[in-house]
């Protein structure tokens, strides 16, 4: 009981620090900043990289075509080697629904050293800049599975111009329909916010940078200054790399939760979610075994020790040590569940899921280990039939 008591106290201390000193990561009220309509609405090109997206495109592309943006705007969909008729479907949807003009371009396969998405973005941005003499003033980089309410672009641009931001990113509300989505998806956003606290990122003097790749409004001038996307062409976690590049080049960035931007991509089974997380988890750890070991130990201490300490303390023979172990574990578990509740409310899920966070964290721990295993088997990060070489092999 002695070691478990020490671990329980350490876990409780960690939760006190996370709750009070980690940028209030658990709050979900970071939405678009105060904004007013600009005197002149700047021109915008919406760039949509798409690879085999025929399943989700009928629910996402019409929402972009229907944007009620007061200024000049167009859509460039980059068909990244699709085999399911994505390009033809996009053209048909645009013909059936009047709205913003749509252009579909199809680049060659990415050369070595480029990820497919960033290669597609490169072509989409280049096409947008060639289309007019001056090029668009802003770029909306949005994934093919993201649906936007009609005022989404207008609100994003108003936020960027009002606060003089170079990058405005909203984390789209992911789908939560199946049992596994309800269990895993809110925790995914909760863990992301824990790593990258939104309030800390949004400070003018912030050193932490991150974005959510599904919805990024980027000032074209800032993209040129930061060398986007060429400067991050190998990035698998492209959204965080993009935000860091913009910040390093002197740009101001903002990240928050979306209210009217939603992902329509389904992840009905645990295997679907597992692949989503494991394909890039070890990349997040920079392929460092020591960081992997530290992450596994940290996840175990922070998320697994509290329930273990509470149950062991209650089950053990009555003693001061058992009581202290149970109290420390119980308080840590209570803080954990309490900080998770706002995210569950944001996703309109039952509070019953809050005490289950240790089990969900265990799943993420196993996904991270699996990501490392796949890396050392030489498979690298994989997405829709493409496997990217390890950085040392690129």
Whether residue 285 is contained in a domain is answered as yes
Give the model's pLDDT for residue 61: 98
Residue 133 binned pLDDT confidence (cut-offs 50, 70, 90): low
3-state class (DSSP) for residue 96: helix
Residues 127 and 244 in one domain: yes
pLDDT at 380: 62
In total, how many domains does the chain have?
A: 2
Residues 226, 373 share a domain: no
Range of the structural domain that residue 10 is part of: 2-24+273-377
For the entire predicted model, the pTM comes to 0.93
Residue 195 lies in a domain: no
Q: Is the peptide bond before 146 cis (omega within 30 degrees of 0)?
A: no
Query: Mean pLDDT for the chain?
Result: 94
- Structural domain includes residue 371: yes
Q: Taking every pair of C-alpha atoms in the chain, what is the biggest distance, in angstroms?
A: 79
Q: Give me the pLDDT at residue 65, please.
A: 98
Are both 53 and 20 inside the same structural domain?
A: no
| Cα-based torsion angle of the residue sequence 240, 24, 275, 364 in order, rounded to the nearest 10 degrees | 130
- For residues 241 and 277, membership in a common domain is answered with no
Q: Name the DSSP letter for residue 174.
A: -
For strands 138-142 and 215-219, give the pairing. Answer: antiparallel
Residue-wise pLDDT for 283-339, tens only, equals: 889 899 999 999 999 999 999 999 999 999 999 888 888 999 999 999 999 999 999
Q: Please check whether residues 353 and 236 belong to one and the same domain.
A: no
Query: Per-residue pLDDT averaged across 181-192, rounded?
Result: 98
Same-domain check for residues 224 and 284: no
Give the CATH number for residue 223. 3.90.550.10
Query: Could you tell me if 105 and 228 lie in one domain?
Result: yes
Shared domain for 80 and 139, answered yes or no, is yes
- Report, as an integer, the average pLDDT of 43-57: 97
341 and 307 fall within a common domain = yes
């Amino acid at each position: 009981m002695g070691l478990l008591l020490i671990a329980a106290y350490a876990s409780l201390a960690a939760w006190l620090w996370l709750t009070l000193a980690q940028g209030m990561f658990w709050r979900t009220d970071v939405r678009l900043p105060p904004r007013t309509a600009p005197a002149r609405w700047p021109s915008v090109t919406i760039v949509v990289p798409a690879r085999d997206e025929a399943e989700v495109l009928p629910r996402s592309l019409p929402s972009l075509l229907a944007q009620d943006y007061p200024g000049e705007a167009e859509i460039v969909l980059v068909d990244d080697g699709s085999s399911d008729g994505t390009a033809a479907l996009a053209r048909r949807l645009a013909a059936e629904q009047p709205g913003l003009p749509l252009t579909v371009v199809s680049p060659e396969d990415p050369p070595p050293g480029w990820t497919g998405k960033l290669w597609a973005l490169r072509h989409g941005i280049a096409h947008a800049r060639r289309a007019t003499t001056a090029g668009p003033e802003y770029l909306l980089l949005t994934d093919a599975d993201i649906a936007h309410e009609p005022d989404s672009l207008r609100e994003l641009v108003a936020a960027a111009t009002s606060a003089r931001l170079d990058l405005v990113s909203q984390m789209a509300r992911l789908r939560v329909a199946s049992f596994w989505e309800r269990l895993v998806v809110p925790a995914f956003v909760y863990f992301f916010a824990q790593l990258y606290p939104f309030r800390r990122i949004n400070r003018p003097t912030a050193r932490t940078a991150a974005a959510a790749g599904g919805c990024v409004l980027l000032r074209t001038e800032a993209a040129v200054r930061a060398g986007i996307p060429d400067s991050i062409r190998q990035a698998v976690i492209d959204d965080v790399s993009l935000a860091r590049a913009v910040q390093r080049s002197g740009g101001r960035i903002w990240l928050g939760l979306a209210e009217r931007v939603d992902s329509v991509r389904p992840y009905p089974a645990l295997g679907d979610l597992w692949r989503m997380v494991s394909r890039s988890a070890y990349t997040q750890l920079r392929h460092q075994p020591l960081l992997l070991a530290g992450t596994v130990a940290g996840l175990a201490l922070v998320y697994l020790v509290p329930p273990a300490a509470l149950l062991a303390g209650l089950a053990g023979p009555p003693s001061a040590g058992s009581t202290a172990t149970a109290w420390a574990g119980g308080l840590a578990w209570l803080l954990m569940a309490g900080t998770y509740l706002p995210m569950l409310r944001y996703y309109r899920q039952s509070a019953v899921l809050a005490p289950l966070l240790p089990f969900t964290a265990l799943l993420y721990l196993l996904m991270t280990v699996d990501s490392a295993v796949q890396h050392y088997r030489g498979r690298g990060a994989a997405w829709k039939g493409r496997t990217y070489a390890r950085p040392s092999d690129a």
